[in-house]
Amino acid sequence: MKSDILKIANRKFKSRLIVGTGKYKNLKECAEAIKISGAEIVTVAVRRVNISDKSKPLLMDYVDPKKIMYLPNTAGCFTSKDALRTLRLAREIGGWKIVKLEVLGDKKNLFPDMIETLKSTEVLTKEGFNVMVYCNDDPLMCKRLENSGASAIMPLAAPIGSGLGIQNKTNIKILRHQTKVPLIIDAGIGKASDAVEAMEMGCDAVLINTAIAKARNPFQMADSMKYAVISGRKSFLSGSITPILQGSPSSPKKGLI
List, for residues 223-243, the tens digit of each pLDDT value: 999 999 999 999 999 988 888
Sign, CA torsion 16/21/22/27: positive
- Which member of 12, 56, 66, 100 is catalytic? 100
Domain positions in the chain: 11-238
Question: Higher confidence at residue 78 or residue 2?
Answer: 78
From the candidate CATH numbers 3.40.720.10, 3.40.50.720, 3.40.640.10, 3.20.20.70, the one assigned to the domain spanning 11-238: 3.20.20.70
Per-residue pLDDT band for 191 (boundaries 50, 70, 90) equals very high
In what helix (H) or strand (E) does residue 98 lie, and over which residues does it extend? strand 98-101
Closest CA to 21 of 222, 193, 162, 228: 222
Q: Output the pLDDT for position 57.
A: 75
pLDDT at 251 over 90: no
Q: What is the pLDDT of residues 17-52, one digit of tens each?
A: 999 998 999 999 999 999 999 999 999 987 667 666
Q: What is the pLDDT of residue 128?
A: 94
What was the pLDDT predicted at 114? Answer: 95
Q: What is the pLDDT of residue 3?
A: 76
**Other CB atoms within 10 A of residue 21 CB:** 26
Please tell me the distance from the alpha carbon of residue 30 to that of residue 141, in angstroms, as a whole number: 34
Segment 155-159 mean pLDDT: 94
Residue 83, C-beta contacts closer than 8 angstroms, at least 6 positions apart:
74, 77, 101, 102, 103, 116, 120
Q: What is the pLDDT of residues 120-153, one digit of tens each?
A: 999 999 999 999 999 999 999 999 999 999 999 9
Q: What is the mean pLDDT of the chain?
A: 91
> How does pLDDT run across 82-115, given as a tens digit for each residue?
999 999 988 988 888 999 999 999 888 899 999 9
pTM, two decimals, is 0.89
Task: Give the integer Cα–Cα distance in Å for 229 and 233.
Answer: 6
N-terminal to C-terminal alpha carbon distance within the chain:
42
- Can 100 be counted among the known catalytic residues? yes
